[in-house]
Structure 1
Amino acid sequence: MTEPIQEFGESTPFGEERDPARVVAFSDAVIAIAVTLLVLEIRPPHDTRDLLHGLAALWPSYLAYAITFMLIGQVWANHHIMFDHVRSVDRLVLFLNTVLLMDLSFLPFAASVLADTFRDGHGQRTAVVLYGLSFELTAVLFNLIWWHARRDRRLLAPTIDEAGVRAITRRFQLALLWLGAGTVLGALLPALGVAVIFAFIPYYWLPIAGEIRTSQRHRRRRDRT
């Protein structure tokens, strides 16, 4: 009996785990589109007779743009950090990542609603809750993907040890609490809720515990080889 011939090389058998590279590439494309759409929500003033005043009045749109762009940037960075240590993906990861991208695509709308309410002076509580819940869902999905990948280390690569797994887990779990707190506070005091969500940005751009030390250790290993 002869073996079947595959004209284009080995393909992934149906139902098996897959290389995460295509998931990351697709996610990068969707995230790039999402951050590009943010600027389209900043509409120029219709009355140009006092253009400087009209541009200044758009400050809520500038603020919502800046905060949302930086938060989506953090999503992009942490998405790469997570998938750097994922060896393969299964159908559940594909599904959860698709829902994550759907949520990210919704963020330009949530940012536009937030800006409009602060500019008009009405509906800020609802807008902040909508905005916060959108990012809270992002945090939930990150935790679900990471929990599934690290369970029994079935989908994890050998590039990360247990200390690294715990550090990423703590970072993702903290996001749930932080964004949840901002959302709840926003329902009571909208400006405070936005401030708490904004404070999320500088902290989450800091390296994860052990990240720099691990990077330096890998660099020294490469230098010795």
Structure 2
Amino acid sequence: MSDGVVAVLITVLVLDLRPPEFPTFESLLSLWPTWLSYLVSYLFIAIVWINHHHLMRYATEATPNLVWFNFAHLFSVSLLPLATAWMAVSELAPQPVAFYAGVFFLVNATYICLIHELIDRAPVDEVLPRERKIMHFRSIATLFVFAAAVVVALKYPLFGLGMCICCLIVYLKPEAPGARSEVRGA
């Protein structure tokens, strides 16, 4: 089901793209806020999907908490097309960018719930203490950066958006850096 939701969200995101009014490259370039919004959102959805798949490897059963946390996570991600459209239409105005960063915060907060349910409950031989520590640090640190981005975006929207983009970089690879090299003599 999660894959289906992600596919629908990407489709909704794409449907909001509109061609320029005039058939010139200048008109196309004038839509840079829309293209930037779309690009960041598409990358964000891809990163969410990859990290979600990484976490779900640790699921052994569909507990009620896991199901609800997953629905909360998918709900928060489903707000992204709205936030993207508003940010693009406003040409990166402060309040829409702050809302966009707030969606990132919410997605990350629900991701932390998934980490708690899946990683913290996994046996030590599946997720080593160092890997758990790195995953927790990364998720909590980025949560604070997303919260700061909400506030910063109200005064400096491009800087707030840049803070969100920087956080995405740490999630490009879902595994905790170097953690798997310690597993059972690997």
TM-score between the two structures when normalised by the length of structure 2: 0.87
C-alpha displacement at 1:164, in angstroms?
A: 2.1
Matched, 1:30 2:36: no
Compared CA separation, residues 36 and 217, structure 1 to 2 (3 A): farther
**Larger Rg, first or second structure (1 or 2):** 1
C-alpha displacement at 1:63, in angstroms?
A: 0.4
CA distance in structure 1 between the partners assigned to 2:184 and 2:160 by the alignment: 38
Compared CA separation, residues 203 and 146, structure 1 to 2 (3 A): closer
Equivalent in the alignment of 2:21: 46
Q: Unaligned regions of 5+ residues in structure 1, if any?
A: 1-25, 219-225
Equivalent in the alignment of 1:91: 64
Matched, 1:191 2:158: yes
Matched position secondary structure for 1:43: coil
Matched position secondary structure for 1:188: coil
CA distance in structure 1 between the partners assigned to 2:135 and 2:152 by the alignment: 26
1:116 to 76, 89, 97: 89
1:65 to 38, 47, 54: 38
Matched position secondary structure for 2:60: coil
CA distance in structure 2 between the partners assigned to 1:56 and 1:93 by the alignment: 44
Matched position secondary structure for 2:145: helix
CA distance in structure 2 between the partners assigned to 1:203 and 1:162 by the alignment: 19
1:178 to 145, 151, 155: 145
Runs of 4+ in 1 over 4 A off after TM superposition: 214-218
1:209 to 177, 182, 185: 177
Compared CA separation, residues 34 and 214, structure 1 to 2 (3 A): farther
CA distance in structure 2 between the partners assigned to 1:214 and 1:72 by the alignment: 30
**Identical-residue share of aligned pairs (%):** 23
| Equivalent AA in structure 2 for residue 32 of structure 1 | A
Q: Relative CO higher for 1 or 2, CA cutoff 8 Å, sep ≥ 6?
A: 2
CA distance in structure 1 between the partners assigned to 2:83 and 2:51 by the alignment: 21
Equivalent in the alignment of 2:48: 75
RMSD between superposed Cα atoms in Å: 2.2
Matched position secondary structure for 2:4: helix
Matched position secondary structure for 2:59: coil
Mean alpha-carbon deviation: is it higher for 208-217 or for 175-184?
A: 208-217
Compared CA separation, residues 46 and 217, structure 1 to 2 (3 A): farther
CA distance in structure 1 between the partners assigned to 2:179 and 2:12 by the alignment: 32
1:128 to 58, 77, 97: 97
